[in-house]
Amino acid sequence: MSFALGLTGSIGMGKSATAAIFAAEGCAIWDADAAVHRLYDSGGAAIGPIAEIFPQAVVSGRVDRERLREIIADDDTALPRIEAIVHPLVAADREKFRDGAENDVLVFDIPLLFETGGDVRMDAVVCVWIDAKTQSQRVMARGTMSVEQFCQIVQKQMPIEEKKERSDYLIETDTHEHARTQVRAILEQIRRQISDA
């Protein structure tokens, strides 16, 4: 039986980099964003149901995320309708991964873990965090969104202080080396727990 570890945090706080450290330490990683990409890509399970309600969102046989964002911005009812399609498909993808993985620790990289109630299916939760100034600098350095878009995303997410409070473990991502030291300490504790069970 594998140990299910939820990995969460807010945008720009180093979640993907931390997931990579967990992978390097022998954990299997399931990435919620990657699962959504698979569902939206050619042959993905979300294409048909989304095309039924928003045909303009499907371009060249795949869901166009930019068009989807525009639809959501223009229509208050769009997001819940899309989530009603996507969330069950993402959950099925996650369970398929869980059933097939053989690693002792499975890391579930889920940005909205607490917001979607996914924490109840985890054995423990780790939250990555960094101060707000560094977070903003990291996101702006990517050059993929405006300050306004960044602020909108942050407002939709649970405040990081609340996520930290609800988590079993915290990882400060100020440097890669510090993050790796914290990951190793957490895994040592979890693996000790597994062997004692």
Residue 158 to residue 114: CA distance in whole angstroms: 8
By residue count, the chain amounts to: 197
Query: Which residues, 6+ apart, have CB-to-CB distance to 112 below 8 Å?
Result: 8, 32, 118, 157
Q: What is the pLDDT of residue 156?
A: 79
Residue 72 has a pLDDT of 87
Task: Kindly give, in sequence order, each residue whose CB lies less than 8 Å from that of residue 39, ignoring residues fewer than 6 positions away.
Answer: 45, 46, 47, 63, 86, 89, 90, 93
The tens place of each residue's pLDDT in the chain, 197 residues long, gives 799 999 999 999 999 999 999 999 999 999 999 999 999 999 999 999 999 999 999 999 999 998 998 898 888 899 899 999 999 999 999 999 999 999 999 999 999 899 889 999 999 999 999 999 999 999 989 988 888 888 888 887 899 999 999 999 999 999 999 999 999 999 999 999 988 87
C-alpha 61/C-alpha 44 separation (Å) is 9
Residue ranges with strand state E in 13-122? 28-31, 58-59, 62-63, 105-109
Closest by Cα among 27, 51, 45 to 102: 27
Domains delineated in the chain: 1-27+105-197 (3.40.50.300), 31-102 (3.40.50.300)
Euclidean distance between CA atoms 98 and 30, whole angstroms: 9
Can you give the pLDDT at residue 151? Answer: 84
Whether 39 and 45 have beta carbons less than 8 Å apart is answered as: yes
The predicted model scores a pTM of 0.89
Q: How far apart are the first and last CA of the chain?
A: 11
The conformation of residue 133, written as its DSSP 8-state character, comes to H
Question: What's the pLDDT at 183?
Answer: 98
How far is the C-alpha of 133 from the C-alpha of 84, rounded, in Å?
34
